[in-house]
Amino acid sequence: MTLSDDYATYIAGLPKILAGAAVLFRDAEGRILAVEPNYREGWALPGGTVESDEGESPRQGARRETLEEIGLDIAPGRLLTVDWTRGPGRPPIAAYLYDGGVLDAGQQAAIVLQESELVSWRLVERAEITSYFPGALGRRVAAALEVVESGGGTVELEDGRPVG
């Protein structure tokens, strides 16, 4: 066995985590763009799993997923939150949430859903966040909005709750 074989064995034995990346888009009234997946219950933000096996970064994944899911090629803005989430039956996920800015009427009209994954989209009022995004996702969205509104820095979260 060579040193490179030993290293490959070492890497193969390390714990696995997933990485997800999403983008927080808003309209001029401050409503949040939500998408409705067809493969699970509930609503989500445009985004998905980072294809790390292909060398994709979370920022690149967020942009690719936004283009695939809603047809908009918009470079993500600053990183708003990083959330370490746990769930039954899956590895932990490091979830990156980027600022997508404010979508104007033309951009909203240009939204084309990825029919293989999404049923619909809508703009969600801030008061409806926990109804559309329950649990950690709702807390993550609320924390991200606080960052946007305060002009503060990236917030580290665990299961949607601020660390520290």
Q: Residue 3: which pLDDT band, with cuts at 50, 70 and 90? A: low
Distance CA 28, CA 31 (A): 8
In this prediction, residues 157-162 reach a mean pLDDT of 97
Residue 34's pLDDT is 98
The C-alpha atoms of residue 124 and residue 101 are separated, in whole angstroms, by 15
Instruction: Give pLDDT tens digits for 29-76.
Output: 999 999 999 998 899 999 999 998 888 999 999 999 999 999 999 999
Cβ-Cβ contacts under 8 Å for 129 (sequence gap 6 or more): 32, 138, 141, 142
pLDDT bracket for residue 2 (50, 70, 90): low
The answer to whether residue 99 scores a pLDDT higher than 60 is yes
CA distances from 155 to 33, 44, 105, 113, 163 (A): 21, 20, 30, 30, 8
Cα distance between residue 99 and residue 66, in whole Å: 12
Of the chain, the percentage scoring pLDDT greater than 70 comes to 98
What's the CATH number for 17-162? 3.90.79.10
| Other beta carbons less than 10 A from residue 105's beta carbon | 9
The pTM (predicted TM-score) of the whole model is: 0.91
Among 109, 127, 126, 140, CA closest to 45: 140
Is 35 within 8 Å of 43 (Cβ atoms)?
A: yes
Percent of the chain whose predicted confidence (pLDDT) is above 90: 80
Give residue 11's pLDDT. 74
Location of structure tokens 């305060």: 150
CA 87 – CA 129 distance, rounded (Å): 20
Tokens representing residue 72 in the block: 């908009």
The rounded distance, in Å, linking the Cα atoms of 32 and 122 is 8
Tokens 């959330």 belong to residue: 83
More confident residue, 131 or 12: 131
Q: Are residues 72 and 64 in contact, defined by beta-carbon separation less than 8 angstroms?
A: no
**Residue 5, pLDDT score:** 75
Calculate the average pLDDT of the chain.
93
Work out the pLDDT band at 1, boundaries 50, 70, 90. Answer: low
- Is the pLDDT reported for residue 157 higher than 60? yes
